[in-house]
Amino acid sequence: MIRLSLLILSIFSLIYGVYFLLFPYNFVRITAAEEINIAWLRNIGASITGLLFIGLFYIYIKPKKSYKLLSIITITSIIQTSALIYSRLFNEFSAKKLILIDLTIYSALIVTIYLVYITIKHKNIFT
């Protein structure tokens, strides 16, 4: 079940990451944000695709001896989610329609909590 959840998170990350990477103008349009965020959105999309999709997919394929990679992904997720929350609390987003920003934060928070949980509770699967 843990492995399947990693596959699902990996696919979710692929979709989410590719969306930001290839279609940042769409996100800007639906959130009514300023277009100055395009480069940052593409960068975030590349990071999500590279680290979360490829990293979690690798762990799904070969869970044994993947604990270090899972730890790096988990720590990165904690940092990214914390940064999103900070930016939202201090109104650093240019978006006028913040519902998608909030959904992004909630999604990131759920994924991060889950990654922390499996990193701690199910360490034996990955060592």
76-119 pLDDT, tens digit each: 999 999 999 999 999 999 999 999 999 999 999 999 999 999 99
Q: What is the mean pLDDT of the chain?
A: 95
Distance from C-alpha of 62 to C-alpha of 126, rounded to nearest angstrom: 9
**SS3 category, 89:** helix
Distance from C-alpha of 67 to C-alpha of 70, rounded to nearest angstrom: 5
Q: Rounded to two decimals, what is the model's pTM?
A: 0.92
Q: Are 97 and 31 in contact (CB under 8 A)?
A: yes
Segment 28-56 shows an average pLDDT of 93
Give the count of alpha carbons within 13 A of 15, CB side only. Answer: 6
pLDDT tens digit string along 25-41?
A: 999 999 999 888 799 99
